[in-house]
Amino acid sequence: MAHFDSSGIRKVFDLAAKMKSPINLSIGQPDFPVPPTVKQAAIDAIHADKNGYSQTQGIGPLREKLLAQTQATFGHADRDLFITSGTSGGLVLAMLALANPGDEVIVFDPFFVMYPSLVKLTGAVLKPIDTYPDFHIDVNKVRDAITPRTKAILFNSPANPTGVSATAAEVRDLAELAAEKNIALVSDEIYRAFQYDEPFVSPAKFNPQTIVIDGFSKGYGMTGWRLGYAHGPTAVIQEMAKLQQYTFVCAPQPFQWAGAAALDVDMTPHINDYRKKRDRLVAGIGDLYELATPGGAFYAFPKAPWGTATEFVAKAIENELLIIPGGIFSARDTHFRISYAAPDAVIDRGIEVLRRLAKR
């Protein structure tokens, strides 16, 4: 535990609770509600007394729907799937099942805040690959970073915190390199629905050994319901499911029934709305900030126009604007994360403060 500090994002979350009128562009949580039919499915499951443990691998109706989707997308001969307690739960199980102490795990910097702590939890060694300034993947850097101890690559696109989406060529090259070197490729696809400019491409399309971690939290606005899933080669998925028996046990059963209902809901209007929010933010600050245009998720990762990111964010917080310093996600303290998963009026207030601070 001495390796970990409490999440810097949670510290800002706690700060927001104490402010009267914060401009909260800090938390990675959709601002739209869970669809009514999905809420009703959870309520119906509770009233039907579907409140006990489910099978560790998840209820049949949900697994079957997801397996059918997965097979239709990839068609791999060997692909199993089970339901996890959130996407974070799936990531924990994947890394504990794959990595031994002393193994090396490649991550791309900037990275989701959980990744370094998760690697340390397994006793493995973090091998970060710098992706500044455009946050795209150079497969030659990955090849150079691979050693005989490399066990896994953690990949996330669209990415948190940058919002950048890997190109189809980058995804293919990374997938093929992992296959060539027989390295586990763990693809965190929780922002898959939020892909704005190009179609989403999973590395599982090019590498059937890819372990995909996905879930319902972001795409359906149900972050608190802790419902995710993982699919990949049967041998790995069975080990992850076995480990779930002794840790998370199962995902919450009522919300699994809700997840089955969610798969029938078209979330396209919300995704289109978030594309407009992305455009609103980029148009509002793009002339004053160095910014890689985000192609997905609901984040932007501009460079601080002066000082360190920590110093800049401290000044922003003095102006009631809550954003996250990039040092939480990176070895560098140069950028900061904006979450535009917020009402347009809040985004506009944030743009106003950011423009004022840039001209300081």
What is the number of other CB atoms lying within 10 angstroms of the CB of residue 305?
Answer: 15
| 103 and 151 in a common domain | yes
| Tokens standing for residue 297 | 């998720």
Residue 44 within any structural domain of the chain: no
Residue 39 within any structural domain of the chain: no
Number of domains in the chain: 2
| 105 and 248 in a common domain | yes
Residue 309 within any structural domain of the chain: yes
| 221 and 183 in a common domain | yes
Q: How far is 226 from 256, CA to CA, in rounded Å?
A: 9
- Helix/strand/coil percentages in the chain, nearest 5: 45, 15, 40
| 321 and 250 in a common domain | no
| 327 and 273 in a common domain | yes
Q: How far is 5 from 14, CA to CA, in rounded Å?
A: 15
- pLDDT by 10s per residue, the chain, length 360: 777 776 666 666 666 667 778 899 998 899 999 999 999 999 999 999 999 999 999 999 999 999 999 999 999 999 999 999 999 999 999 999 999 999 999 999 999 999 999 999 999 999 999 999 999 999 999 999 999 999 999 999 999 999 999 999 999 999 999 999 999 999 999 999 999 999 999 999 999 999 999 999 999 999 999 999 999 999 999 999 999 999 999 999 999 999 999 999 999 999 999 999 999 999 999 999 999 999 999 999 999 999 999 999 999 998 999 999 999 999 999 999 999 999 999 999 999 999 999 988
Residue 40 within any structural domain of the chain: no
Q: How far is 71 from 237, CA to CA, in rounded Å?
A: 15
| Tokens standing for residue 243 | 């480990």
Q: Which residues, 6+ apart, have CB-to-CB distance to 259 below 8 Å?
A: 38, 62, 83, 216, 227
Residue 289 within any structural domain of the chain: yes
Q: How far is 14 from 127, CA to CA, in rounded Å?
A: 31
Q: How far is 343 from 279, CA to CA, in rounded Å?
A: 14
- Domain boundary at 215, 232, 262, which? 262
| 236 and 143 in a common domain | yes
What is the domain-level CATH number for residue 251? Answer: 3.40.640.10
Residue 35 within any structural domain of the chain: no
| Tokens standing for residue 100 | 């031994």
What is the domain-level CATH number for residue 300? Answer: 3.90.1150.10
| 141 and 57 in a common domain | yes
- Domain boundary at 262, 293, 311, which? 262
| 200 and 288 in a common domain | no
Residue 342 within any structural domain of the chain: yes
Q: Which domain holds residue 118?
A: 52-262
| Tokens standing for residue 265 | 């809901």
| 244 and 274 in a common domain | no
| 283 and 145 in a common domain | no
Q: How far is 297 from 284, CA to CA, in rounded Å?
A: 18
Beta-bridge partners for 125? 104
- Domain boundary at 262, 288, 303, which? 262
Identify whether the C-beta of residue 330 lies closer than 8 Å to the C-beta of residue 339: no
| 151 and 291 in a common domain | no
| 305 and 187 in a common domain | no
Residue 108 within any structural domain of the chain: yes
Q: How far is 191 from 299, CA to CA, in rounded Å?
A: 11
